[in-house]
Amino acid sequence: MAECLVYNAPMHAPLHFSRPLVVGSVSSLSAWQAACAAGQLPCDVVELRADGLAAATDWAALATHTCCRPVLVTVRHESEGGMRPMAAEERMHIAHTLLPLASALDWEIAMLDAARPLLAEAHAAGVPVIASAHDFEKTPAPEYMISLERQARAMGADVVKFAFRLHCAEDMLAGVEVLRQATGPIAVMGMGPLGAVSRLLYAQHGACLVYGYLGNTPTAPGQWAAALCRRALDAMAL
């Protein structure tokens, strides 16, 4: 398993970690404003779920905000858990406008090809791309996820992320196998009732990002509060 890397945004010094990073996700303007006002946060990275914000948001003004942690910008597509429907042009515009804020950008593996200009712009700005895939119904076969991981890296992904629904304890082994065969930094997480425990298991097996939430609203089923994630990983010496 390759060492986990989180790159730097222009406003941050380079960050290199060999331990799992806790991502605190926010999906409302009030939670984002609270994160920006905080002097410290119980996470290593803040994920701004721009798909959770209103269409009328002043994205250019938002891009000038500062946070005490590196910011992962996510503009999730509705088909993979996005909080509101958006045309492709709107998603691209939001991502482009928020790039100056970003320490990393999340984009779906299924839509990487159509986003090549955006990915090139991100890389030119020193912003790595997290390529993600989500299945809210089932746990995909390990072979399928491993194939997607190779495909995503060939299209320029710096980190690959899989999130999937767990139905039984045996499903968790699929994620362990994907982590074992990964060719670079990778995040794997389960969703549903078994999601919380799976995130700790996968962190033990090399997942480089562990997602929780800031504020009061989870952004995915089975998510812990970011503070709980950090305490659990610290207790496990991860």
In the prediction, which pLDDT does 16 show?
54
In the prediction, which pLDDT does 221 show?
82
Give the residue among 85, 74, 5, 43 at the shortest CA–CA distance from 212.
43
Domain boundaries, the chain: 5-235
pLDDT in tens, 17-42: 578 999 999 999 999 999 999 999 99
pLDDT in tens, 44-85: 999 999 999 999 999 999 999 999 999 999 999 999 999 999
Q: Is 238 in a helix, a strand, or coil?
A: coil
Residue 4: pLDDT over 90: no
User: The tokens of 106 are what?
Assistant: 């999340």
In the prediction, which pLDDT does 217 show?
85
Does the pTM surpass 0.85? The reply is yes
In the prediction, which pLDDT does 5 show?
45
Mean pLDDT of the chain: 91
pLDDT in tens, 131-177: 999 999 999 999 999 999 999 999 999 999 999 999 999 999 999 99
The answer for residues whose C-beta is within 8 angstroms of residue 46's C-beta and 6 or more apart is 23, 24, 25, 26, 35, 67, 69, 70, 71, 72, 214
pLDDT in tens, 192-210: 999 999 999 999 999 999 9
Q: Which CATH number fits domain 5-235: 3.40.50.1370, 3.20.20.70, 3.30.930.10, 2.40.50.140?
A: 3.20.20.70
